[in-house]
């Protein structure tokens, strides 16, 4: 067959060759060992934890080596594309501190190796499609959907492997006259790769995360270009990663099944094969067994879950590093105040089988991260979160920033700062007691508490309350109330002979705490009173007295 004539017949508009593309996208001028990788999502509208896992893995490997990290949008499947998904994806990745050196942006793109949206690279793919036809490695296929289904039915009947291959590839060696007649009749066609592989052939391949894996050759004549001229993922991936000078392809291990095809295409096009690193799935406990985390079953899979819950960006970043590298926690203990970006990330420390999502660990990490933040930092992040998810609360925060920061400052600082909250939603609950419109009595007094003792405590505290008292003087007054009501003023006395007392100073404090905070457990009560101020304190104590009758 005259492949040159066929190539011109199929691609008369293509006047450039691979050599022109090589000049347009020359090798990058980077240090020895620098990694070039990418995050290459599809704009399907669902931004999930896997996006962070994959992009953070690539970003760390690239930037630790002095390399380049870029964002490429793989939008060849228009049926699955969701309007506005690209912007949402870019915003989400930026929110979680994933830094790209080049690629698609919300406003366009930056970088010399674009376009970074695959649908805009159509002419580039056609250059290499024509090149493969010239070499006899690709051919047009005019099969209709009905004809392809008939082939599959025959294969099922004969218990043959499904797919367009070997004797089932009916247009693979079709006479040129048939092809020319089909083109003249304006029949739709796709471009297929002429596979030289066989599933009888197997070989070893080294994956940077999985280690040595077994590969079975691809024998399917896969589609390279769809009938609208847009490439399939497989073809676009190979061309793009070569021309963008990708050294490492880091992606989910669901793509391992496609690896034989990609290796075959790289070799057929004469491209250097990049390193591959396939990330194991994120698992979750379901009863006593593990399963792959699911966007349908598990809200934790969607990034909106973390943003809406108010997990600080820094906490999510640290948590992902924890599940990705087994030695991150040891490093953090040895470097408690170092930025997470200083951690020496390694693909070799990743679990080939994947990572287990642990909500309790995420909560602990988040509380630890928040405990080290300044009140100013917390206030700024809390306000940003509240503006999006709790507008009335944002209004209250903005009305008196210093009041809000005083609340946040309770127990902050020192060697053992309090860890009452790890998310902005939890902090919002923590702060409810300080605001008129959200203060409620959440906890009831214990059933054994004497109503008359509660009322006497509140009345006597009101008689002596002075917001100017230092904490020692303030607590001495509470002890005095305890003694006057037959409660032990010292815990040692109560523990030594509990039967001799109606209770202890802890009970007296609890009587005050419920009235002032609405809860049996609260932040430091002296600090709470100092922030509430004289008017609020008196109002709440008097309100409880009225409530008790």
Q: Which residues lie closer than 8 Å to 409 by C-beta, 6 or more apart? A: 375
411-454 pLDDT tens trace: 887 778 889 999 999 999 999 999 988 899 999 999 989 999 99
Distances (CA, A) of 199 to 53, 244, 276: 33, 31, 21
Cβ(253)–Cβ(281) below 8 Å: yes
242-266 pLDDT tens trace: 999 999 999 999 999 999 999 999 9
Tell me, what's the pLDDT at 79? 78
What average pLDDT does this structure show over 18-22? 98
Q: Within the chain, how many helices (H) and strands (E) appear?
A: 22, 16
| pLDDT at 95 > cutoff 90 | no
Tokens of 370: 């928040």
Question: Is residue 441 one of the residues assigned to a domain?
Answer: no
* Separation between Cα atoms, residue 326 and residue 353, nearest integer Å: 13
User: Using 50, 70 and 90 to split pLDDT, how confident is the model at 205?
Assistant: very high
Cβ(117)–Cβ(230) below 8 Å: no
Tell me, what's the pLDDT at 294? 82
What Rg do the C-alpha atoms of the chain give, in angstroms? 33
pLDDT, averaged across the chain: 94
* Separation between Cα atoms, residue 225 and residue 122, nearest integer Å: 10
In a shared domain, residues 476 and 402: no
What average pLDDT does this structure show over 172-198? 96
Residue 477 burial (C-beta neighbours within 10 Å; 0-12, 13-18, 19+): middle
Question: Is residue 395 one of the residues assigned to a domain?
Answer: yes
Question: Is residue 159 one of the residues assigned to a domain?
Answer: no
Domain containing residue 513: CATH number: 1.10.10.350
51-85 pLDDT tens trace: 899 999 999 999 999 999 999 999 888 777 788 88
SS3 35: coil
Name which of 35, 36, 58, 34 is nearest 320 in CA terms.
58
Tell me, what's the pLDDT at 296? 79
> Of the candidates 70, 98, 114, which is a domain's last residue?
114
> Of the candidates 246, 279, 312, which is a domain's last residue?
279
More confident site: 171 or 81: 171
What average pLDDT does this structure show over 288-305? 84
In a shared domain, residues 512 and 418: no
* Separation between Cα atoms, residue 431 and residue 439, nearest integer Å: 9
Q: What angle do CA 99, 105, 106 make, to 5 degrees?
A: 120
In a shared domain, residues 222 and 268: yes
Cβ(396)–Cβ(427) below 8 Å: no
Q: Which residues constitute the domain of residue 103? A: 29-114
Tell me, what's the pLDDT at 88? 83
Domain containing residue 55: CATH number: 3.40.50.620
Tell me, what's the pLDDT at 22? 97
Cβ(324)–Cβ(53) below 8 Å: yes
If one counts every other C-beta atom within 10 angstroms of the C-beta of residue 351, the result is 15
* Separation between Cα atoms, residue 278 and residue 342, nearest integer Å: 24
| pLDDT at 140 > cutoff 90 | yes
Question: Taking the model in full, what pTM does it have?
Answer: 0.87
359-368 pLDDT tens trace: 999 999 999 9
Tell me, what's the pLDDT at 32? 95
Tell me, what's the pLDDT at 84? 80
What average pLDDT does this structure show over 293-299? 82
In a shared domain, residues 44 and 101: yes
In a shared domain, residues 130 and 227: yes
Number of domains in the chain: 4
Q: Which residues lie closer than 8 Å to 436 by C-beta, 6 or more apart? A: 536
Q: Which residues lie closer than 8 Å to 459 by C-beta, 6 or more apart? A: 545
Tell me, what's the pLDDT at 252? 93
In a shared domain, residues 73 and 203: no
In a shared domain, residues 87 and 134: no
What average pLDDT does this structure show over 101-114? 92
> Of the candidates 253, 279, 305, which is a domain's last residue?
279
In a shared domain, residues 429 and 458: no
Q: Which residues lie closer than 8 Å to 462 by C-beta, 6 or more apart? A: 538, 541, 542
* Separation between Cα atoms, residue 109 and residue 444, nearest integer Å: 59
Question: Is residue 47 one of the residues assigned to a domain?
Answer: yes
User: Using 50, 70 and 90 to split pLDDT, how confident is the model at 49?
Assistant: confident
Q: What is the DSSP letter of 138?
A: E
Strand bridging mode 248-252 / 202-207: unpaired
What average pLDDT does this structure show over 84-109? 87
Question: Is residue 329 one of the residues assigned to a domain?
Answer: no
In a shared domain, residues 134 and 269: yes
* Separation between Cα atoms, residue 549 and residue 543, nearest integer Å: 10
Question: Is residue 301 one of the residues assigned to a domain?
Answer: no
* Separation between Cα atoms, residue 151 and residue 539, nearest integer Å: 82
* Separation between Cα atoms, residue 369 and residue 338, nearest integer Å: 12
* Separation between Cα atoms, residue 511 and residue 544, nearest integer Å: 10
DSSP for 106-163, please give it. Answer: TTEEESSS---BGGGGHHHHHHHHHHHHHTTSEEEE---HHHHHHHHHHHHHTTPPPS
302-354 pLDDT tens trace: 888 899 999 999 999 999 999 999 899 999 999 999 999 999 999 999 999 99
In a shared domain, residues 136 and 267: yes
Tokens of 407: 């609340």
Tell me, what's the pLDDT at 352? 94
| pLDDT at 295 > cutoff 80 | no
| pLDDT at 300 > cutoff 90 | no
* Separation between Cα atoms, residue 386 and residue 487, nearest integer Å: 44
* Separation between Cα atoms, residue 323 and residue 345, nearest integer Å: 12
User: Using 50, 70 and 90 to split pLDDT, how confident is the model at 173?
Assistant: very high
| pLDDT at 33 > cutoff 80 | yes
Tokens of 523: 């932040």
Q: Is the peptide bond before 386 cis (omega within 30 degrees of 0)?
A: no
In a shared domain, residues 422 and 485: no
What average pLDDT does this structure show over 127-132? 98
Which residues pair with residue 279 across a beta bridge? 252
Question: Is residue 314 one of the residues assigned to a domain?
Answer: no
Tell me, what's the pLDDT at 306? 92
Cβ(496)–Cβ(368) below 8 Å: no
Name which of 211, 248, 206 is nearest 34 in CA terms.
248
Question: Is residue 471 one of the residues assigned to a domain?
Answer: yes
In a shared domain, residues 96 and 74: yes
Tokens of 10: 């199929």
């Amino acid at each position: 067959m005259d492949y040159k004539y066929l190539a011109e017949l199929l691609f008369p508009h293509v006047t450039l060759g691979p050599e022109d593309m090589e000049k347009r996208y020359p090798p990058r001028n980077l240090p020895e060992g620098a990694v070039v990788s990418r995050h290459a999502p599809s704009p399907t509208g669902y931004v999930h934890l896997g996006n962070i896992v994959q992009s953070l893995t690539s970003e760390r490997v690239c930037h630790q080596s002095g390399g380049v990290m870029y964002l490429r949008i793989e939008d060849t499947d228009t049926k699955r594309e969701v309007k506005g998904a690209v912007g949402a994806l870019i915003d989400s990745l930026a929110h979680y501190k994933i830094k790209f050196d080049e690629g698609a942006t919300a406003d366009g793109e930056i970088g010399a190796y674009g376009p970074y949206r695959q649908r805009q690279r159509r002419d580039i793919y056609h250059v290499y499609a024509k090149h493969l036809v010239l070499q006899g490695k690709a051919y047009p296929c005019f099969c209709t959907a009905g004809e392809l289904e008939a082939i599959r039915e025959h294969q099922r009947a004969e218990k043959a492997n499904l797919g367009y291959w070997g004797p089932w590839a009916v247009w693979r060696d079709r006479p040129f006259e048939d092809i020319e007649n089909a083109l003249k009749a304006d029949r739709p066609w796709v471009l297929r790769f002429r596979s030289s592989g066989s599933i009888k052939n197997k070989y070893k391949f080294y994956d940077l995360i999985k280690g040595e894996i077994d590969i079975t050759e691809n024998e399917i004549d896969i589609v390279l270009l769809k009938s609208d001229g847009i490439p399939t993922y497989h073809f676009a991936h190979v061309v793009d990663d070569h021309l963008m000078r990708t050294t490492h392809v880091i992606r989910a291990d669901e793509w391992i099944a496609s690896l034989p095809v990609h290796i075959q295409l790289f070799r057929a096009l004469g491209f250097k094969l990049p390193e591959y690193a396939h990330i194991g799935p994120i698992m979750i406990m379901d009863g006593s067994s593990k399963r792959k985390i699911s966007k349908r079953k598990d809200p934790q899979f969607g990034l909106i879950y973390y943003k809406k819950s108010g997990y600080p960006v820094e906490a999510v970043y640290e948590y992902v590093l924890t599940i990705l590298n087994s030695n991150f926690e040891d490093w953090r203990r040895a470097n408690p105040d170092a930025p997470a970006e200083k951690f020496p990330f390694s693909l070799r420390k990743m679990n080939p089988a994947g990572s287990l999502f642990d909500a309790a660990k995420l909560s602990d990490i988040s509380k630890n991260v928040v405990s080290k933040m300044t009140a100013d930092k917390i206030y700024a992040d809390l306000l940003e979160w509240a503006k999006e998810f709790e507008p009335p609360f944002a209004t209250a925060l903005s009305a008196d920033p210093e009041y809000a920061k005083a609340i946040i400052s309770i127990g902050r600082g020192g060697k053992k700062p309090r860890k009452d909250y790890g998310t902005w939603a939890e902090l919002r609950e923590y702060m409810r007691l300080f605001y008129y419109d959200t203060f409620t009595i959440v906890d009831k007094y214990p059933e054994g508490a004497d109503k008359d003792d509660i009322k006497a405590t509140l009345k006597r505290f009101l008689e002596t309350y002075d917001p100017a008292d230092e904490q020692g003087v303030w607590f001495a007054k509470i002890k005095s109330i305890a003694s006057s009501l037959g409660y032990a003023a010292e815990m040692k006395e109560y523990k030594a002979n509990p039967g001799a007392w109606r209770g202890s100073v802890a009970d007296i404090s609890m009587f005050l705490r419920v009235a002032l905070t609405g809860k049996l457990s609260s932040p430091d009560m002296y600090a709470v009173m100092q922030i509430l101020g004289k008017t609020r304190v008196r109002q709440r104590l008097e309100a409880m007295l009225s409530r008790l009758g």
